[in-house]
Amino acid sequence: MTGTKRSPLIWVVHLSVLLIVVLWTLPTAGLLISSLRDKNQLASSGWWTALSTSTQNVVFRAPGPEAQVEKDGKFVISGNVLEDRGGEVSAWGTTPTKPSEFQPGATVPLREEGSTLTVQSDGAFEIVSPTKLEGNRGQRIAFVASIPPRFTLDNYREVLSAQGIGSSFINSLTVAIPSTVIPILVAAFAAYALAWMKFPGRALIIAMVVGLLVVPLQMSLIPLLKMYNGVGNIFGVPSKTYLGIWLAHTGFGLPLAIYLLRNYMAGLPREIMESARVDGATDFEIFLKIVLPLSFPALASFAIFQFLWTWNDLLVAMVFLGAGNEELVLTGRLVNLLGSRGGNWEILTASAFITIIVPLLVFFTLQRFLVRGLLAGSVKGG
């Protein structure tokens, strides 16, 4: 029995797909590993070194003179430069520019007359002076240490325990869920009309929908806000409300929703529609009982895209909802946690995974419909 020889092109395709998967997965894996690392190690080495011992140059400031105690007629300040890092000191110095000037166990004289400093390999240090130490600040100790890999959940605890995270999480849900449901409802009715109902100007409306797909959000954001505020002033509606952001996301999401659903609905079997009309069904009954159930893959596909967009959005939320402490969405709250310089990488990595928990749940719940809905909507038309 002879086996079927596979074409070299098959192997090229498989290897290409594998390479793409690896390229997409590596950054996410790196982000996850970084979010679980100690912040000191994260600042000194890349995530790919997470399982190896890292060498760090650290500057430690010893406690001030208020911590000194008298022993055998001398004044002593003691502690451990490694604190909770663990590891081993391989060299040390008294200035940040020379962190490897002395070996562990060496006793070095300090500026104060008669005072000495000793640092051991386990990080224990001792400042000894024959007279009472004076001043306001402690001695700086620079050292080189070999730190073993350390994983922790402190980054997640810091983010989740931050003030306002719970309310911002609720705000994001309040924005994302209606902003996903409303455009789906509106687009479903419009898509059915454009696919199966004949009326003057239908082709022009379809062309306008396709044209709106390329309109940048940033270009239309301010005109839309001015129009909303103008209408709100007439009817006495406050400018910073959830209604405004729901309408904004609905407007920005409708072109893609109508285009996707219209293409899918136009590809449904014509015989089913004609049979329903022969049996006396109205357009609304056909839409509700036949078209909607059959269009669920396309509805789920758009729901994934729209929910991801509204959940991760910050620009539209700040424009239409505001940046106040009570109105701030989750993405805005996490940005504030980074500080003005955005240098807290441990916060950034943990925040990234906290924000994607809900979108991941939505995606894995509806992902089996995603490819089916997109492919059917792209190859069928009426």
Q: How many CA atoms lie within 13 A of 72 on its CB side?
A: 3
The alpha carbons of the chain give a radius of gyration, in whole angstroms, of 32
Tell which wins on pLDDT, 223 or 255. Answer: 255
* Residues 46, 38, 152: CA angle, nearest 5 degrees: 125
> 324 near 163, Cβ under 8 Å?
no
User: What is the structure's pLDDT at 375?
Assistant: 58
Residue 280, domain member (yes or no): yes
Give the residues across from 379 on adjacent strands: none
Query: Is residue 183 very low, low, confident or very high in pLDDT (cuts 50, 70, 90)?
Result: very high
| 233 and 294 belong to one structural domain | yes
Domain enclosing residue 18, as ranges: 8-49
| 184 and 333 belong to one structural domain | yes
Mean pLDDT of 183-200: 92
User: What is the structure's pLDDT at 104?
Assistant: 93
Q: Hey, CA dihedral for 279, 285, 287, 292, is it positive or negative? A: negative
Residue 1, domain member (yes or no): no
User: What is the structure's pLDDT at 235?
Assistant: 65
Mean pLDDT of 339-358: 75
- As a whole-number percent, the residues of the chain with pLDDT over 90 amount to 26
Q: How do residues 31-64 score in pLDDT, each as one tens digit? A: 889 888 888 788 777 888 888 888 888 889 999 8
User: Of 125, 148, 171, which residue sits at a domain end?
Assistant: 148
| Separation between Cα atoms, residue 186 and residue 279, nearest integer Å | 27
Residue 300, domain member (yes or no): yes
pLDDT surpassing 90 at residue 191: yes
**Which of 83-92, 281-290, 368-377 comes out lowest in average pLDDT?**
368-377
Q: What is the mean pLDDT of the chain?
A: 85
User: What is the structure's pLDDT at 310?
Assistant: 93
pLDDT surpassing 90 at residue 111: no
CATH number at residue 360: 1.10.3720.10
Residue 138, domain member (yes or no): yes
Q: Which residues contact 21 (CB under 8 A, 6 or more apart)?
A: none
Residue 121 three-state SS: coil
| Separation between Cα atoms, residue 202 and residue 208, nearest integer Å | 10
| 17 and 109 belong to one structural domain | no
Residue 307, domain member (yes or no): yes
User: Of 105, 125, 148, which residue sits at a domain end?
Assistant: 148
User: What is the structure's pLDDT at 18?
Assistant: 92
pLDDT surpassing 70 at residue 264: yes
